[in-house]
Amino acid sequence: MYEQLAKSIGEKVTLTAAEFDVCKTFFIPKKIRKKQTLLLEGDVCTYNAFIEKGILRSYTTDEKGNEHIIQFAFEGWWITDLSSFLMGAHSTYTIEAIEDSELLLLTVAARAELMNALPVFERYQRLLLENAYIALQARVNSALTATAEEKYIKLTNGYPDITLRVPQHMIASYLGLTPETLSRVRKQITLRK
């Protein structure tokens, strides 16, 4: 169950087999079903979740009941409400499984203990946060400057199987489009091919 975690850590830092065995002891394995929530908006986020298998989404709901998807998290990714997780504040987001998923959960206390036990894990976490911030800036820039078609093409080029695993209305929400606009964009792309 720890294959994706080993791969993710190994892409950023080097851990010995013995160090990875220590690392695994800090995580709580959890399986959740499709549409099951890991976090509800308004609750305090107690876990940073690593996805071994499946897809999760993080979203907020506006006063009209419309969902706005902030993040998809695939195998090998982390998902949390970072502000709530680190500060103990009420969560802005709901985190829900799009597919049956297998997770490795890390509490705030376990994260701190793990970084003390294995300082290289702190470096791994720092590198993840740096990459997440860079990705966030790129996403904001794209949201402000890219056309609907450019956003969709960039998403599907980066994640080729997303259209097979994530419902179209969720992809539309993530891109800040209506489902109808996304349908038109997809049709235009298909007609040009």
What are 100-136's pLDDT values in tens digits?
999 999 999 999 999 999 999 999 999 999 999 999 9
> Distance (Å, rounded) from C-alpha 31 to C-alpha 154?
31
Q: 87: how many CB neighbours lie within 10 A of its CB?
A: 12
3-state SS, residue 57 = strand
**Amino acid at the residue 60:** T
The answer to whether residue 193 scores a pLDDT higher than 80 is no
Predicted confidence band of residue 180 (pLDDT cuts 50, 70, 90): very high
Question: C-alpha distances in angstroms, 57 versus 16, 52, 66, 187?
Answer: 32, 14, 15, 25
Q: Which of 61, 70, 187 is nearest to 132 (CA)?
A: 70
> Distance (Å, rounded) from C-alpha 193 to C-alpha 188?
9
Name, in order, each residue with C-beta under 8 angstroms of 78's C-beta and a sequence gap of 6 or more.
48, 49, 50, 51, 128
CA gyration radius, the chain: 18
Mean per-residue pLDDT of the chain = 95
pLDDT in tens, 18-74: 999 999 999 999 999 999 999 999 999 999 999 999 999 999 999 999 999 999 999
Q: Which residue has the tokens 């897809």?
A: 55
**Amino acid at the residue 86:** L
Q: What percent of the chain has pLDDT over 70?
A: 100
> Distance (Å, rounded) from C-alpha 172 to C-alpha 151?
10
